[in-house]
Amino acid sequence: MRINQLSALDVRRAKFTGKPYKLFDGGGLALRVRASGNAWLFRFKRDGKSRETTLGKCPPMTLADARRRRDEFRALLADGIDPIEHRRQQADTAKAEKESSGNTLEHVIREWMGTQQWSAGYRETVTQRLNRYVFPRLGSRPITEITAPEILAVLRKAEEAGKIEVAPRCRQYISAAYKFAIASEWADHDPAAGLAPALKKPPPTKHRAAVLDPDRLGEVLRAIDAHGGQPQVKAALQLLPMLMVRPGELRGMEWAEVDLDAALWSIPGSKMKMRQDHLVPLPRRAVEILRDLHHWTGHRRLAFPGLRSAQKPISENTLNASFRRMGFSKDEITAHGFRATARTMLAERLRWPAHVIELQLAHAPRDPLGRAYNRADFLDDRRQMLEEWADYLDRLRKPGDE
């Protein structure tokens, strides 16, 4: 029978006096006393070899706690289990569970999104899709436990909701996040990688409505000039056909980006779809419109502040709603469609070369050697092209004069 040799009083009185020592309690339990602090030890034999392991510091571990832990270890030994290896396995399991619980799909996707240089609008779109279809069903699950059929089931929900084009996008987001996790050593495979063939094919892209007939475009331009809305709305409607920028880029214009004396608008890459800085030469007519607008909004950060909040720009819906009030249907005109109008007419009517047009559209054409142009390439040509385009639009405003 094992005899306990220590008392609680012995433990409290155990002080370091200049030389380390041990107080033995029996059954392999001992209290080690040294300058760095007291600790409980358990000594045992396994496979004929003496071994020792620390049970815990004293305090906080009491004598009673140390005896319970010693008895647990002795029970393991009686079952043929090495208590040191058992404790290491428990620690590894706890660590894996902690890492797994931290690396949920939502956590990993958000970490991956933090590495992407997206525009604010696109980031909002991605977040809305994930919040709607992915996170509610799989967001809280550890990424190492999620299977391909589970991801496919989530994507099917988007398809069933009629969002055929959203399902493959969500698959791409999930797959990209898994690749990020693999690179970070949080996962070892991508269960979404092979799911693309199992998804429905999105319908062919429906191009945004654009006016390509010169006479009809002239009618649109005259209707814009007669528009009686807010100054920033009318100015935006007048500049859209002229500058070849995306509606979101125009709406987000800040006065600090515009040099009216140099007739140049410098759009930072953070606002551009391709994440590259973009230069927009301003035709004389555009400078006139912006100078007039400056009287109204020049004291604001945004050139086209919203009607409800000056901290946000007017919305694309505001622009499209203006066209509806003018009598143009959404099948005929959208704010984004003027880019297609400019691209087509500059090539077919004014005979401008494609690479100059594409550069001004902030696309990424290549030179004959396959090299990408930079934002300043052909700037003089682009300035001349936009000036000619503005003059052409002015001619279209006169009935019967192309």
Residues involved in catalysis:
246, 273, 336, 339, 363, 373
How far apart CA 112 and CA 172 sit, in angstroms, is: 12
C-alpha angle with apex 96: 93 to 97, nearest 5 degrees? 85
How far apart CA 186 and CA 275 sit, in angstroms, is: 29
How far apart CA 94 and CA 364 sit, in angstroms, is: 50
Contact of 190 with 175, CB cutoff 8 Å: yes
Structure tokens at 5: 């040799």
As beta bridge partners, residue 302 has 254
Structure tokens at 266: 């410098």
Contact of 39 with 58, CB cutoff 8 Å: yes
C-alpha angle with apex 353: 348 to 358, nearest 5 degrees? 100
The set of residues, in sequence order, having a beta carbon less than 8 Å from that of 333 and lying 6+ positions away, is 209, 210, 211, 220, 323
Strand order in the sheet with 278-281: 258-259, 264-267, 278-281
Q: What is the DSSP string of 138-175?
A: HTTSBTTT--HHHHHHHHHHHHHTT-TTHHHHHHHHHH
Which helix (H) or strand (E) element contains residue 143?
Answer: none
How far apart CA 153 and CA 195 sit, in angstroms, is: 11
C-alpha 286, offset from chain centre: 34
DSSP 49: E
Structure tokens at 369: 């050697």
How far apart CA 315 and CA 248 sit, in angstroms, is: 8
Total Cβ atoms within 10 A of residue 170: 23
How far apart CA 216 and CA 162 sit, in angstroms, is: 35
Contact of 117 with 161, CB cutoff 8 Å: no
Residue listed under structure tokens 């589970």:
150
